[in-house]
């Protein structure tokens, strides 16, 4: 099962001390452990939300709103994609994640929808197309 | 520049209502256009938050909270990773996206950090690790 593991935050480090070398080393070791266990598919960090935009798709005309957005606590600051056997396994890995006070005190774990999860509405053609895209996106199992 | 394009959740997506065959077909075409234009690096949908969990960090304490989560509009329902020349190009592509939800929906566009954004403290060893892991989620070129 694949999981998206989301670190909450605005991406703006002003809310706490900047990560020091010691913390970075711990995070590096954590990422290495994820890799060695075959859990890690990938990891990304997002730029501060002030550089982002939102597009509202309601009615016929899309509306564009510039960041920053007020819901700082709920925004995505960064994420991993993991391949694990269960939600519980993902939770155990998250509990081992290094934590720096002031930087996203919450991590959200969300299961990725696999093509089978779409049910019969997903035609065979769309299914195969999806597999093709996933293969392009990054050699997943 | 790489962007994470986040489809926000709605009442329907959180209820586990799956897309219709028409939407899957329209979305399949749109994804194909993104792939042909060389923009699409990755894309996935997420299961409702009821199948997820959150881990809260406080000092040495780790608290697990089971989904679903209340802030429906702030949750991630799905995402793409795109490689485009500018934020404006990403916005133009989002405007062409079939509305991914039966009702109103919102899509957030967030720039991803690249290795060069971290400056000198991002040593060659760290870059090598990042290249290994980042490239698995979304090939950079």
What's the number of domains chain A is made of? 1
**And the tokens for B83?**
């490689």
Cβ atoms within 10 Å of A9's Cβ, excluding its own: 24
A102, part of any domain: yes
Contact between chains at B91 and A108 (C-beta distance less than 8 A):
no
Which of B57, B95, B116 would you mutate first to test chain A, the one with the most A CBs within 10 A? Answer: B57
Q: Which CATH class is domain B2-137?
A: alpha beta
Rg (CA), chain B: 17
| Domain with A108 in it | 2-56+64-113
**pLDDT confidence of A60, banded at 50, 70, 90?**
confident
Please tell me the distance from the alpha carbon of residue A86 to that of residue A95, in angstroms, as a whole number.
15
**Mean pLDDT over residues A123-135, rounded?**
53
Kindly report which listed range (A13-17, A116-120, B43-47) carries the lowest average pLDDT score.
Answer: A13-17
* Residue B135 predicted with pLDDT over 70: no
**Mean pLDDT over residues A118-126, rounded?**
57
* DSSP line for B54-107: EEEEETTEEEEEESP-S-GGGSEEEEEEEE-S-HHHHHHHHHTS--SSSS-EEE
Rounded to 5 degrees, what are φ and ψ at B25? -65, -50
Interface confidence, given as ipTM, is 0.86
Is the CA virtual torsion A45, B67, B55, B132 positive or negative? negative
A130, part of any domain: no
Whichever domain contains A98, its CATH number is 3.30.70.1060
A139, part of any domain: no
A127, part of any domain: no
* Residue B128 predicted with pLDDT over 80: no
Please tell me the distance from the alpha carbon of residue B64 to that of residue A41, in angstroms, as a whole number.
23
pLDDT confidence of residue A135:
47
Which helix (DSSP H) or strand (DSSP E) does residue A97 occupy?
none
A138, part of any domain: no
What Cα–Cα distance (Å) separates residue B51 from each residue in A7, A31, A109, B64, B80? Answer: 17, 24, 9, 13, 21
Q: Percent of chain A having pLDDT more than 90?
A: 45
Residue B51: which of A11, A111, A121 has the nearest Cβ? A111
A80, part of any domain: yes
Kindly report which listed range (A125-129, B18-22, B26-30, B137-141) carries the lowest average pLDDT score.
Answer: B137-141
Determine contact: B36 vs chain A, CB below 8 A. no
Going from N- to C-terminal start, the domains of chain B cover 2-137
DSSP 8-class letter at B112:
B
**And the tokens for B66?**
């089971």
Please tell me the distance from the alpha carbon of residue B29 to that of residue B75, in angstroms, as a whole number.
25
> How many CB pairs lie under 8 A apart between chains A and B?
205
A83, part of any domain: yes
Query: Is the distance from CB of A81 to CB of A140 less than 8 angstroms?
Result: no
Which of B22, B52, B117 would you mutate first to test chain A, the one with the most A CBs within 10 A? Answer: B52
pTM summary value: 0.85
């Amino acid at each position: 099962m694949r999981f998206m593991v989301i670190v909450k935050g605005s991406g703006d480090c002003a809310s706490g001390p900047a990560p020091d070398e010691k913390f970075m080393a711990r995070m590096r070791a954590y990422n290495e452990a994820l890799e060695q266990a075959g859990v890690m598919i990938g990891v990304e960090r997002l730029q501060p939300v002030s550089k982002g935009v939102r597009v509202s798709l309601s009615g016929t005309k899309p509306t564009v709103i510039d960041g920053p957005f007020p819901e700082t606590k709920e925004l995505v600051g960064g994420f991993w994609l993991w391949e694990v056997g269960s939600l519980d396994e993902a939770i155990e890995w998250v509990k081992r994640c290094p934590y720096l006070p002031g930087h996203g005190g919450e991590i959200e774990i969300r299961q990725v929808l696999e093509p089978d999860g779409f049910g019969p509405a997903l035609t065979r053609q769309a299914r195969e197309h999806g597999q093709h895209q996933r293969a392009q996106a990054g050699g997943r199992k | 520049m790489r962007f994470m394009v986040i489809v926000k959740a709605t009442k329907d997506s959180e209820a586990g209502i799956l897309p219709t065959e028409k939407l899957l077909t329209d979305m399949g075409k749109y994804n194909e256009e993104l792939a042909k234009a060389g923009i699409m690096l990755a894309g996935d949908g997420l299961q409702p938050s009821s199948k997820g969990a959150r881990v809260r960090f406080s000092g040495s304490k780790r608290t697990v909270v089971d989904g679903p989560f209340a802030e429906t509009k702030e949750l991630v329902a799905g995402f793409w990773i795109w490689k485009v020349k500018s934020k404006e190009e990403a916005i133009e592509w989002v405007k062409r996206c079939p509305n991914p939800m039966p009702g109103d929906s919102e899509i957030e566009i967030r720039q991803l950090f690249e290795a060069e954004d971290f400056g000198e403290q991002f040593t060659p060893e760290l870059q090598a690790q990042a290249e290994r892991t980042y490239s698995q989620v979304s090939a950079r070129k």
